Structure 1
Amino acid sequence: MKTVAVYCGSSTGVDPIYMQEAKRLGEVLVENGLDLVYGGATVGCMGAVADAVMEAGGKVIGVIPEKLRNVEIAHHELTELHVTKDMHERKSLMAEYADGFIAMPGGAGTLEEWFEVFTWAQLGYHLKPCALLNINDYYSPLLALLDHMIEQGFMKPAYKDLIVFEHDPVLLINQLKDYKGDYIHKW
C-alpha cells in the first residue's frame, strides 16, 4: 500500500473533534509512509488532512473538478493538483491513484464517493480496502442501516465484512496495511 484516498467534508462539522482527527489522520498517513489522494480543496476536513500530510513532509495529490475549483477553493500548495472536467473523472482518477479508501465524516458527496468504491469492491472490480473512520460515532447509524439492509435481504453479510471500521486513525491504518484483499466474490 502506497497511496490512500480520503473522502471527507469540505466543511469543518460542528464538533472540533472532526478537524482534530482529520489532522491526526494526515500525520498517521505520513508516519506510515503513505501518500494522500483527496478532493483537492483547502477548506474543511479536506484541507486539514492535506495540510497535516504536507506539514509532516508527505506527498499529497489533489483531484478537483473544474466546477468546484473556486467553490471549495482548490489547494495550490500540493505535490500535485489535477483539475478534472467533472465528478466522474475525479472519482476515476482518485480510484486509479489509491491503494485503499477511507471515508471520514462528511456529507452526501463523501458518502457517494465512498459508496461507489465500496460497490466496486462488492462487484470484484478491485481488491482494495474500503474503510470508515468512525470519529465521534459518526458512522454508527450507517452501520445500523447496513445491518438493516442485510436483515431485509438487500445486502449479503459478506459485503459488510469488506468494510474496515475503526474509531482511531492509528488502528485504522494498521488494519488497512494488513488488509489481504483475498476474498472471493460469489454471486
Structure 2
Amino acid sequence: MKNIAVFCASSPKIPGIYFEDARKVATYLVKAGYGIIYGGGGAGLMGAVADEALRHTGQIKGIIPGFMVDVEWEHKDVEDMVHVETMHKRKELMVQQSAGIVALPGGTGTLEELFEVMSLKKLGQYPHPIVVLNTAGYYNGLLELTNKMVEEKFMRPVHNEMWNIVNTPEEVVPAIRNAKSWGEDSIKFAAL
C-alpha cells in the first residue's frame, strides 16, 4: 500500500469548511487504497483526518515529537504512532515513508513542511506527487508568490509544475494519480 503524507493545521479554531474538506480528503484517500501518514495530532485538521481515516478503517500512521505527547496533543486512537525527538525527524520520516504529499490549509508548520518538500523536489530528491488543496482560495497568496518568483527569475516556469493545486477534495486522488513525473534528472533545472 502506498502512503500519502498529509500536512495540515492543528488548530481547532479554524472555520468549518476546512474540517469538511479535510474529512473528505481522508475518505477519498482511504477509498482509493492509500495509507495516510500525518503529524500524529488529535486536534484541528490533523484530528479530523485521523478520525475520518479510522472511521473508514483506513491505514493511518502518526509521527509525533515527544514534547507534543507531553502536552497531550497526540491522537489517542491511532495505534500506529511513532514518537520522535524533534520536529525535523517527524518531517523527515513523513517524507521518507510517503509516495506523495497532500497539503491541506495550515499555518507556519504546514507551510514549512510544504516548502521543504517542494525544495527537495526541485533538487530531484523527492520524485513523488505534491498536491495542494486550495479550499476556499486559502492558497491563492502562495500561488501569487510562486508566480512572482517565476516572473522575477527566482524559479524557472517548470518549477511551478512541481505540484498540483486543486480546489476540491474530489480532485486530490486524480491529481496524485496523474501527477507529472519528476525524477532526479530534473535537478538540471534547479539552478537555471
Corresponding residue for residue 179 of structure 1? 179
Matched AA of 1:68: M
Q: Secondary structure at the match of 1:69?
A: helix
Corresponding residue for residue 2 of structure 1? 2
**Across the two proteins, how many residue pairs are aligned to each other?**
187
Give the whole-Å Cα distance in 2 for the aligned partners of 1:139 and 1:71: 30
Deviation, 1:79, is 3.7
Identity of counterpart residues, as a percentage?
36
Corresponding residue for residue 145 of structure 2? 145
Give the whole-Å Cα distance in 2 for the aligned partners of 1:12 and 1:177: 31
Give the whole-Å Cα distance in 1 for the aligned partners of 2:72 and 2:18: 18
5+ residue gaps, structure 1: none
Corresponding residue for residue 161 of structure 2? 161
Corresponding residue for residue 43 of structure 1? 43
Q: Secondary structure at the match of 1:64?
A: strand
- Alignment root-mean-square deviation, CA: 1.5
5+ residue gaps, structure 2: none
Deviation, 1:72, is 5.9
Q: After superposing the two structures, state which structure 1 stretch, 67-76 or 86-95, moved more.
A: 67-76
Corresponding residue for residue 85 of structure 1? 85
Check whether the contact 1:59–1:79 (CA below 8 A) recurs between aligned residues: no
Structure 1 length-normalised TM: 0.94
Q: Secondary structure at the match of 1:37?
A: strand
- Show CA shifts across 1:119-144 (max 9, x none): 10000012111111001100011000
Deviation, 1:182, is 4.2
Deviation, 1:13, is 4.8
Give the whole-Å Cα distance in 2 for the aligned partners of 1:55 and 1:171: 21
Give the whole-Å Cα distance in 1 for the aligned partners of 2:77 and 2:34: 18
Task: Tell me whether 1:33 sits opposite 2:28 in the alignment.
Answer: no
Q: Secondary structure at the match of 1:49?
A: helix
Deviation, 1:177, is 1.5
